Amino acid sequence: MIHRIVFLERDSIRGEFRRPEFPHDYDEYPLTAPEQVAQRVQGASIVITNKVVLRGELLSTLPNLKMVACAATGTDNVDLAWCREHGIVVSNIRGYAADTVPEHVIALAMALRRNLLAYRRDVLDGKWQRSSNFCFFDHPIRDLHGATLGLIGRGSLGEGVARLAEAFGMRVLWAERKGAEKVGPGRTAFEALLRQSDVVSLHCPLNDTTRGLIGAAELRLMKPDAILINTARGGIVDEAALARALKEGRIGGAGFDVLSKEPPREGNPLLELDLPNFILTPHVAWASAGAMQALLDQLTGNLEAFARGEPRNRVA
């Protein structure tokens, strides 16, 4: 069989994509708008997507489709239930960002705990130049050492953050599922973790059980100087509730690398914030050069494993 492979958004990942070593025809597009998807995937047996949405209504029009290869760990853009029902293999990428995302998390935590943005703003405003002392102490500086980190989600990324945090001397707590009746070994009840943590970092997938996981009620449980970090998916947090909490000083700060809609062309409450205790980066925690190349290498491996009849990294 000669597979027809369509890569819908090649420019979303930088690096060398090694074409798989089995007979195939190949088309790639730098980017694909929603209205272009249906035409571009016609006749495809393998579709590669990063963030392009593939729902059952579209997939049902593709009689030759055998595999959806996600060029990412997250699969919330693919109709997994439809694929399972119709025998379509869906594979994702795993472990490629086990170093780069945790480093981004720690960088956000350090910048916020040490109030680097606030001090940088003061220097730019000339405050240091006017200081009567050799330094000034207008913003609290808190160490990571001795602080408590609450992790929600225990995959490779959460584990990576835990390793770095422990190296800094942090106490690490792992959250039990929200609403769970029992707390498993090595876990902390969800609400108790929010109350105890100085830094809370999210590392869970976006699905029906995690959408809106952190809302106004959860933010009220957090310490007034606690920091919330999200490098997972934007929809896990009620962004309007977070914006209000930051404006009202009800939590210490937040570092986000994701929003509920990306790119945020229609605006977002978090985009409107101009606060020294809020850092927003454009979904780049995963995007070190080494991590992107590892992703592309694993993607090729997923395609070749599927063609051998031994699909790996299956989510459907």
Structure confidence by residue, pLDDT tens digits, 113-144: 999 999 999 999 999 999 999 999 999 999 99
Residues 111 and 246 in one domain: yes
Residues 262 and 184 in one domain: yes
Q: Mean per-residue pLDDT for 100-121?
A: 98
Tell me, yes or no, whether 312 lies in a domain.
no
Residues 120 and 155 in one domain: yes
CA 243 to chain centre: 19
Phi, psi of 236 (to 5 degrees): -70, -25
Residues 72 and 153 in one domain: no
Tell me, yes or no, whether 150 lies in a domain.
yes
Residues 139 and 273 in one domain: yes
Dihedral in degrees, nearest 10, Cα atoms 231, 233, 237, 243: 60
Tell me, yes or no, whether 315 lies in a domain.
no
Tell me, yes or no, whether 313 lies in a domain.
no
* CATH for 33: 3.40.50.720
Tell me, yes or no, whether 224 lies in a domain.
yes
Tell me, yes or no, whether 252 lies in a domain.
yes
The residues carrying an active-site annotation are: 233, 262, 283
Query: To the nearest whole number, what is the mean pLDDT of the chain?
Result: 97
* pLDDT at residue 304 in the model: 98
Residues 111 and 141 in one domain: yes
Tell me, yes or no, whether 316 lies in a domain.
no
Q: Mean per-residue pLDDT for 18-33?
A: 98
Residues 106 and 240 in one domain: yes
Range of the domain at 89: 3-96+290-307
* pLDDT at residue 105 in the model: 98
Residues 15 and 50 in one domain: yes
Residues 195 and 151 in one domain: yes
Phi, psi of 5 (to 5 degrees): -105, 130
Q: Mean per-residue pLDDT for 164-183?
A: 97
DSSP 8-state class, residue 144: S
Which stretches of the chain are assigned E, i.e. beta strand?
3-7, 24-28, 46-49, 67-70, 89-91, 148-152, 171-174, 199-202, 227-230, 253-256, 278-280
Count of structural domains within the chain: 2
* pLDDT at residue 35 in the model: 97
Q: Mean per-residue pLDDT for 94-109?
A: 97
* pLDDT at residue 249 in the model: 96
Residue 192, H or E segment: helix 190-196
Q: For residue range 243-297, list pLDDT tens digits in order.
A: 999 999 999 999 999 999 999 999 999 999 999 999 999 999 999 999 999 999 9
240-269 as b/e, with b when 16 or more CB fall inside 10 Å?
A: ebbbebbeeebbbbbbbbbbbeeeeeeebb
* pLDDT at residue 34 in the model: 96
Number of separate helices (H) and strands (E) present in the chain: 10, 11
Cβ–Cβ < 8 Å for 44, 5: yes
Give the C-alpha distances (Å, rounded to integers) separating 280 from 6, 108, 180, 226: 32, 9, 31, 17
* Edge-to-edge strands, sheet with 89-91: 24-28, 3-7, 46-49, 67-70, 89-91
Closest CA to 200 of 253, 250, 238, 164: 253
Residues 62 and 205 in one domain: no
Residues 81 and 142 in one domain: no
* pTM for the whole structure: 0.92
Tell me, yes or no, whether 261 lies in a domain.
yes
Residues 128 and 250 in one domain: yes
